[in-house]
Amino acid sequence: MAERKMKVRTRAQEGLVEVLALITHPMETGLRKDKQTGKPIPAHFIQKVTLEHNGTVVADVDVGIAMSEDPLVGFRLKNAKNGDKVKVIWRDNLGESGSMEAVVDVS
Q: DSSP for 22-82, please give it.
A: EE----B-S--B-TTT-PBPPPB-EEEEEEEETTEEEEEEE--TTSPSS-EEEEEESS--T
How far, in Å, are 7, 47, 71 from residue 4 at the CA level? 10, 15, 12
Asked whether residue 37 is domain-assigned, the answer is yes
Asked whether residue 27 is domain-assigned, the answer is yes
How many structural domains does the chain have? 1
Domain holding 53: CATH number? Answer: 2.60.40.10
**pLDDT tens by residue, 6-31:** 999 999 999 999 999 999 999 999 99
Asked whether residue 78 is domain-assigned, the answer is yes
Q: Domain range holding 59?
A: 6-103
Banded model confidence at residue 5, pLDDT cuts 50, 70, 90: very high
Asked whether residue 24 is domain-assigned, the answer is yes
Whole-angstrom distance, CA of residue 73 vs CA of residue 62: 12
Over 80: is that where the pLDDT of 1 sits?
no
Asked whether residue 1 is domain-assigned, the answer is no
Asked whether residue 42 is domain-assigned, the answer is yes
